[in-house]
Chain A
Amino acid sequence: MRITLVNPLDETSRTVASAASRLGTLEGKTVGLLDISKPGGNIFLDHLERLLRQRYGVASVIRVMKPTFTKPAPEAVISKLVDADCDAVIEALAD
């Protein structure tokens, strides 16, 4: 007997966005560091910031933090990174 099923999976149509092109160099660039606010995240990002500045010649580092790691970043946090014209953003968590 042939049977017909109702597809129970997600079929929501979505826009597929391609990733931004990779940077050739970090020198002179502005890099955003997004701390998701887990304990220890600041220690890791402090270290990362030092490396970016000293070893890779990053011109400026923008540090922003989510109010809670349990939820997606709110608009206000994202727009701080957008307004700063970051060339790249690194989102990091630590525990």
Chain B
Amino acid sequence: MVLNRDLPFAFSSVTKQMLDKGDSAPAFSLARLDDTTLQFERVSSKPRLLIFFETDCPTCRLAIPYVNRLASIIDGNERIVGISQDGKRPTRELIEQAQVKFPVVLDQDLSITKQYDPVAVPTFFLVDAEGVIQQTLGGFNKLELNQIASIMNAARTVIAEPFDGAPDSKFGCVSRHLESAGEGEIANAVNPYLTRGARATRIELDESTDPFEYCMQFGDPLPVVPPTVERVDRLLAETSLEPDEIIGLIPPNYGAATVEKVAANAVMAGCKPEMMRVLIPLVRAVCDERYNIHGVQATTHFAAPLVIINGPIRAEMGFASRGNVFSNIARANSSLGRALQLILTNLGGARPGEIDMSTLGNPGKFSYCIAENEEENPWEPLHVELGFQPAQNALSVFAGESPHGVSEHMAREGKQILKAITRALATVWSYRVCHGIEAVVILCPEHVKTIHRDGFTKQAVREFLYENTGIPLRHYEDGGGEGTPYVKMYKRAIIDGEECCLKFPEPSAIKLVVAGGTAGKFSAVIGSWAAGARGSQMVTYPVSAES
């Protein structure tokens, strides 16, 4: 997907080739998703509408509900035909998500696209009964959509109302056949909308080479599983995506994480083949702009991506959520976290000592992945709190420091436990620095049981921690030091009779997760890197249910 407004001027000459008003519309036959064929004849009894679209184009997605409306008011099936420039799987997903109400055909080899030659998607071709193009529309435009609709339906019903929340018009994306991509072609700059990359090269090892020694160059400093073609193929068999499909461009070098490259790194990390279903959305999540992996990878701070797994997939794939959850307890946790780190260094280029110049680093850069102990969580788990269903799977990524333990075995009340946690929370980033930071609080089952017994809801816990985590003003009296220049900007509150700066800007800066074993009253706090829109925001992505 390339935004049309980013097109170089050279494309203006291409515009002339697009079929236009008065041109004859070529007949075609293309396969529907169920492999039956749709014939588009030149001559028909009524005007028809062809729409060329891509599945990852926001403008196409914007336009679909309006075309659905048109489809529901005109008579005659197949008077509207959607022509997808993508494969079966993404097209099916789009049809389901957008509940497409008109026939859709696949133009995977772009042969029909090349005949009509649209510059952008969506492009609408209104074809009259004689097979002559009557009107074209590139991109989204309510006025022109209404014009097309009035020609298509006798009642002249308006399909696109003004002020319905959508813009009056929006540029489309570059039509797939005009995207420059593929092996051997060199882009002038990073193109963040590439969807296909080159296949990985093959490395032949002769018999005298120890594959484990050879592969030491590919990993963290520990041995990896050699990514043989056979092993990588077993992972590729677990996904319907094509091996050369790009999942994301990994900052800071913006290396293309194709499905094949992801699989090769997953093999090296020791992932089972079925881990692909978690790893692919994980790569998408870390590449989410909000997460800002560029900064997380390049900072001198301690931050490393902490992966938090929720949903039934925990049991299905053996993710540990109980005792030793942060340690070397389960293949699923360790291999998924390690695979992500290998992808970040091997494809993103954030190699320690090179681009990753972290002052002290983080042991989580070997692997940093936990699952929530939903069974011991009396409240809604993290993913449900964020809008998912309990039966859905989700993963979250948080740019975090190492866990900082909070031992509290003497407290008999939930409030006392939470007070102990506030004291650890006050120290994250640096004791006197407030706002601009977040924290994950890992509540252990024993602590959470007492807190819940005392009537705390999850939100009440968050608010209590927010209201009671502060730094007394007297600690700023000695002047200079990190946090002190901004003291006037910090929110204030009276905590235990003393005026304090509140550590966090709002309760939502504190994320609550239940994890760990049922013996031991040890919770933990994990400080963030620079948080919010100016740094890194935690993102949560769904993981598909089917294996």
Contact = CB atoms under 8 A, between A and B. Distances in A.
Interface of A: 1-15, 39, 67-68, 70-72
Contacts of A12: 197-198, 249, 253-256
Contact of A9 (B188, B204, B295, B346): B346
Contacts of A14: 186-187
A11 B348 CA distance: 11
Interface in B214-233: 214-215, 218, 226-229, 232
Nearest to B243: A6
Contacts of A15: 186-189
Interface centre among A2, A5, A72 (most CB of B within 10 A): A5
A8 B228 CA distance: 10
B201 A2 contact: no
A8 B200 contact: yes
Contacts of A7: 200-203, 264
Contact of A5 (B202, B295, B342, B349): B202
A53 to B, nearest CB: 28
Contact of A3 (B197, B205, B250, B535): B205
Contacts, number: 103
B205 A10 contact: no
Interface in B165-197: 184-189, 197
B14 to A, nearest CB: 22
Nearest to B204: A4
B156 to A, nearest CB: 43
- The interface size bin for chain B is 35 or more
Contact of A8 (B204, B211, B268, B529): B268
B206 A8 contact: no
B117 interface: no
A54 B47 CA distance: 75
Given A3-B228, A6-B227, A68-B535, 16 more contacts: A2-B205, A4-B228, A5-B214, A7-B200, A8-B218, A9-B346, A9-B347, A10-B348, A10-B349, A11-B201, A11-B255, A12-B254, A70-B292, A70-B529, A70-B535, A70-B536
B430 to A, nearest CB: 12
A5 B214 CA distance: 10
Contacts of A68: 530, 534-535
Nearest to A72: B294
Nearest to B235: A6
Given A3-B205, A39-B485, A71-B294, A8 B261 contact: yes
B354 interface: no
16 contacts: A1-B207, A2-B207, A3-B226, A3-B228, A5-B203, A6-B227, A6-B264, A7-B202, A9-B347, A10-B346, A12-B253, A14-B187, A15-B189, A39-B485, A71-B292, A71-B295
B372 interface: no
A15 B264 CA distance: 25
A71 to B, nearest CB: 6
Contact of B342 (A4, A8, A67): A8
Interface in B450-488: 485
Interface in B297-352: 299, 342, 346-349
B265 interface: yes
A5 B294 contact: no
B206 A2 contact: yes
A65 B211 CA distance: 49
B260 interface: yes
Contacts of A9: 218, 346-347
A67 B204 contact: no
Nearest to A37: B534
Contacts of A1: 207
Nearest to A8: B264
A68 B218 CA distance: 33
Interface in B229-283: 229, 232, 249-250, 253-256, 260-261, 263-265, 267-268
Contacts of A71: 292, 294-295
B534 A70 contact: yes
A3 to B, nearest CB: 5
